[in-house]
Amino acid sequence: MEVTTDELRMLIKEGKKLGLTEDFFFKGMLLVSKAKVLTQKDVDRLDNMTNRKIDIKMTEETDSLVSPKVKKAMNHEILNHLKNHIYYNKLKDDKRDEVGRIIDNLFPHSDYPSYALQHIYGFSKKLYTHSIHVAIIALIIDLTWQKEHNNGLIDSMRLENILFGALLHDVGYLTIDKKYWAGKRMDKDFQDPNLRSHPSRGYELLIRDQGKHCFNPEVLNIVHHHEERVDQSGFPTGLSETKIGSSSQIVGLANEFEHLLNNELTYSVSYLEMCRYFMSRKSAYNKNCLDILCEEFKGLD
C-alpha cells in the first residue's frame, strides 16, 4: 500500500511492523533496505529524499512470538467465539461489519494478542472465554459511545485499542496463584492484596515488553485501570472519574457485566435483574456508559 511519510510515522507509532516493497537508493547508495523493519529514523531519511508516496508492506517478523500455525488457530478460535456470540448476532449489519473488521485487523498487526491469549488459555479456559466476551461487550458499548461523542464518526484505532486492552485486561492474573481467578467474583475478597494487584501486574507485564511491542498507551491504561470506578471505590489506586479514560471505564463496565452473566452469555440473567444490579452500584460507573449498556442489552428478556 502507498502512504505518505506522515501516515507512515503514525503507523510505526501504533506499533505496526512495516517494510519497503523495494530497496530505496539515493545517488546509487542503498539508503533503506526492503529487508529492514522501518523505524522513525528511516522515515526521517525518506522524508528528506522524496516527496512521493511510499510503497510499504507488513513485514514478516523474524522474532515472532507465536508460530503462524498457533496464531492462525487462535485467530480462528476468537472469530468463532465472535460469530457464535448471541449479542454479536443481534447487532445491526453496519455494527456487525465494523466489529468484524476490527477483529480481522488486530491480529495481522500484532503477534502479542495471540501470544498472550495462548498463555491465558493455558492458565484457565474460563479466563480466556471471559476475556473474549468482555472484548465483544466493550466493542458493542463503544460503538454507540463513539457515535454519541464523535458526531456519528467511528475511530477505528480507538476500537482496536479497546479490543486489544479488553482481551488482555486480566493478563495480570497469570502472575498470581490460579485460586485467585477461580470462583465467582461476588465471593472474592477484593481487599486481598493479591487480587488488588492484578491490574498493576498486568500493566507491568506489558511495560516490560513495551520497547519491543510499542503498546498504545490506551491499551496500557485499560489493563491498569479496568478495576477503577468513577466514585473512587476501585483499585489498585482509587482513581477519580477524570483520571480514568473512557475506554478503561467501558472495559471495566463490560468486565462487571460479563461477571454478572456468570461467564455464560445466556439469558439466565433477566434485563430487570441486570438493571437492578447496576442501579444499586450506579455511582461506580459513568452514567452515559451505563445507559448505553442498558439500552444495547435490553434484549436479555
In sequence order, what are the residues at sequence separation of 6 or more whose Cβ sits closer than 8 angstroms to the Cβ of residue 160?
A: 102, 105, 106, 109
In angstroms, give the least distance from the CB of 186 to Fe ion: 14
Nearer to Fe ion, 91 or 134 (CB): 134
For residues 230 and 239, what is the distance between their CA atoms, to the nearest angstrom?
Answer: 7
Distant-in-sequence, close-in-space partners of 17: CB < 8 Å, separation ≥ 6? 37, 58, 59, 61
When the beta carbons of 61 and 231 are compared against Fe ion, the nearer one is 231
Name which of 111 and 227 has its Cβ closer to Fe ion: 227
CB of 198 to Fe ion, least distance (A): 6
Q: Which is nearer to Fe ion, 85 or 225 (CB)?
A: 225
CB of 243 to Fe ion, least distance (A): 18
Q: Please, what's the b/e burial string for 254-290 (b: 16 or more CB within 10 A of its CB; e: otherwise)?
A: bbbbbbebeeebeeebeeeebbeebeeeeebbbeebb
CB neighbourhood size of 85 (10 A): 18
Q: Which residue is nearest to Fe ion (CB)?
A: 170
Least Å from the CB of residue 170 to Fe ion: 5
Q: Is 25 helix (H, G, I), strand (E, B) or coil?
A: strand
Least distance to Fe ion, CB of residue 210, Å: 20
Looking at the Cβ atoms of 42 and 170, the one nearer to Fe ion is 170
Alpha-carbon distance 141 to 296, whole Å? 7
- Minimum distance, C-beta of residue 114 to Fe ion, in the bound complex (Å): 21
Distance CA 54, CA 134 (A): 38
For residues 95 and 225, which CB has a smaller minimum distance to Fe ion in the complex? 225
Contact, 253 vs 262, CB < 8 A? Answer: no
Task: Note the residues at the interface with Fe ion (CB under 5 A).
Answer: 170
